[in-house]
Amino acid sequence: MIEWLLDTNAVIALVTRRSEILLRRIESSEPGTLAVSSIAAHELYFGAYRSQRVDFNLETLRLLFTDLEISTSSVRMCGRPARSGRSLRGAARRSAPMTS
């Protein structure tokens, strides 16, 4: 059962070991109790693709997400359009409208 939903800032703090309190809390948690939202995962991959150490950061996320409950099928691709120079502007306008 998921008890902790980590946001982007929490994941970055864990990876960079900026918060000892958070790190201890996470280390003491039971397997299967941590999760990262798909939004946070997209933000993390976007940041990794735009970073100076792309390969290192992508590998760090790959290793991190093997232990966290998340579907990574779509999030791995999220940073590539911006990295390759293609604009994302207007993408929402070109998308099909949502229906209820």
pLDDT digits (tens, 9 = 90+) for 44-54: 988 998 999 99
**86 in a structural domain:** no
Using alpha carbons, list the distances in angstroms from residue 11 to 15, 34, 36, 54. 6, 11, 8, 17
DSSP codes of every residue in 76-91: GGTTHHHHTT---TTH
Say whether pTM exceeds 0.95: no
In a domain, 82, yes or no: no
Comparing 34 with 96, which gets the higher pLDDT? 34
| Full residue range of the structural domain in which residue 43 is found | 4-71
pLDDT band (50, 70, 90) for residue 18: very high
* Total domains, the chain: 1
The CATH number for 27's domain is: 3.40.50.1010
Are the CB atoms for 44 and 11 separated by under 8 Å?
A: yes
Domain membership flag for residue 60: yes
Nearest-angstrom CA–CA distance, 39 and 46? 11
